[in-house]
Amino acid sequence: MIVVMKAGVGADDVQRVIERVAELGLTPHLSKGEFRTIVGAIGQRSAQVQQQLEQLPGVDEVMAISQPYKLASREFHEADTILDINGIRVGGPHVNIIAGPCAIESREVLFTVGKAVKEAGASILRGGAFKPRSSPYSFQGRGREGLELLKEAGDELGMPTITEVVDPRDVPVVYEFADMFQIGARNMQNFNLLLEVGKTDKPVFIKRGLAAPITELLMSAEYVLSQGNHRVIVCERGIRTFADEVRFTLDVSAVPVIQERSHLPVFIDPSHAAGKRDLVPALALAGIAAGAQGAIIEVHSCPDRALCDGPQAVLPHNFHKLMEQIKQIAEIVGHRVTLWGREDAKPRKALAGGWAT
């Protein structure tokens, strides 16, 4: 249920509602919008509880949330969530490009690619240290050593970093070295993993499962939100269809569908969908044109030698060109690309309070 407070209501009335919700055995969550304050009352709904809440001072109305995901829904939080990640705004009208190699292979590749993507305007550096591979004989990532390199690169370049966590036991070590958790498509429904990252205060980037409907993706986001971590981004990365010319089929329509139902930032991953570097620009631009608030793109300085996902890695100079096109398309749809290595290089003041930070 959501308890919608009257316009201009005082903080003490809101506090009373929060306390009453907890007394009634439900979990309260506060959403402060520009026009209205909402207290989410998450748990078993009953007409009696609803009536009791309706009678509290300052309460305008109490409504059921129609979707199975509650905190992730637009009904709970009307405005787009805008996250503040080390001074970078993510969500709303801001478009951010995450780029870097699929895996952290060596210091040389990570730093070369990191510098190139920063110069091109990417705002967040990616690199996998724990790789979920289809074959147990493939390169599995460099683990902690890789994370240390990623942190070093992020610090030197002044870029926030993202890396995948595949095991709940690795959440503390990833927390120590990276700025954002990536939950991979294969782990979208690893509920213990979602609960673990939900207990932290670092942003969680959840990729859509290979065969997951949108509702299930948003339920995965709900797992994280339910633990008190409100810093969630969801990502469409291609789903399995009969179209076998590409690795996966990028479901571009997922972008507006999720945005209609949820306030969370939506990214796309053209690299894993395409599986071939020549197709990456077209898919990236399609996603940004559809309104995505960012993209995660694999870039490699020497893709022929890459230990993972070489065929889909774009070369630095092509990534540079793509960034220019992304900038133009974003503008057409009323968005603006954060060019961290260029004009947006100065850290901004953190956003104050609210659901997002």
Q: Which residues bind ligand PEP (CB under 6 A)?
A: 102, 128, 132, 184-186, 207, 237, 269, 272
Nearest-approach distance from CB 128 to ligand PEP, in angstroms: 5
**Least Å from the CB of residue 156 to Mn ion:** 23
207 binds, among Mn ion, ligand PEP, none (CB under 5 to 8 A by kind): ligand PEP
Taking the least distance from each CB to ligand PEP, the nearer of 31 and 312 is: 312
Backbone angles phi, psi at 304, to 5 degrees: -60, -25
309 binds Mn ion (CB under 5 A): yes
**Closest-CB residue for Mn ion?**
102
At its nearest, how many Å lie between Mn ion and the CB of residue 55?
A: 54
Residue 82 vs 297, nearer CB to ligand PEP? 297
Give which of ligand PEP, Mn ion, none residue 237 binds (C-beta under 5 to 8 Å, depending on kind): ligand PEP
Residue of 26, 98, 102, 217 interacting with Mn ion (CB under 5 A) = 102
Q: Look-up: residue for tokens 């993993």?
A: 193
Identity of the amino acid at 28: P
Are the C-beta atoms of 314 and 327 separated by less than 8 Å?
Answer: no
164 binding Mn ion? (CB under 5 A): no
**Which of residues 75 and 269 has its CB atom nearest to ligand PEP in the complex?**
269
For the bound state, the minimum distance from the C-beta of residue 301 to ligand PEP, rounded and expressed in Å, comes to 17
Angle between helices 107-120 and 143-157 (to 10 degrees): 40
* DSSP string over 17-73: HHHHHHHTT-EEEEEE-SS-EEEEEES---HHHHHHHHTSTTEEEEE---SS-STTB
Tokens (6 digits) for 135: 């074959």
Sequential DSSP letters for 227-245: TT---EEEEE--B--S-TT
Amino acid at 101: P
Distance of alpha carbon 76 from alpha carbon 80, whole angstroms = 11
Asked if 24 contacts 51 with a C-beta cutoff of 8 angstroms, the reply is no
Q: Which is nearer to ligand PEP, 272 or 300 (CB)?
A: 272
Binding pattern for the stretch 2-41 against Mn ion, x by CB under 5 A and - elsewhere = ----------------------------------------
Q: Which amino acid type is present at position 299?
A: V
CB closer to ligand PEP out of 28 and 100: 100
- The residue (of 236 and 309) whose beta carbon lies closer to Mn ion is 309
Q: How many residues comprise the chain?
A: 357
Looking at residues 55 to 94 of the shown chain, list those that interact with Mn ion (rule: CB under 5 A). none
Least CB distance to ligand PEP at residue 208 (A): 8
- CA–CA gap between residue 142 and residue 215 (Å, rounded): 34
Given Mn ion, ligand PEP, none, residue 236, with its beta carbon under 5 to 8 Å by kind, binds none
Residue 98, SS3 per DSSP: strand
Q: Which is nearer to ligand PEP, 58 or 127 (CB)?
A: 127
178 lines the binding site for Mn ion (CB under 5 A): no
38 CA to centre of own chain: 23
Please give the backbone phi and psi of residue 170, each rounded to the nearest 5 degrees, phi first. Answer: -95, 0
Which of residues 170 and 269 has its CB atom nearest to ligand PEP in the complex?
Answer: 269
* Total interface residues for Mn ion by CB under 5 A: 2
Residue ranges in contact with Mn ion by CB under 5 A: 102, 309
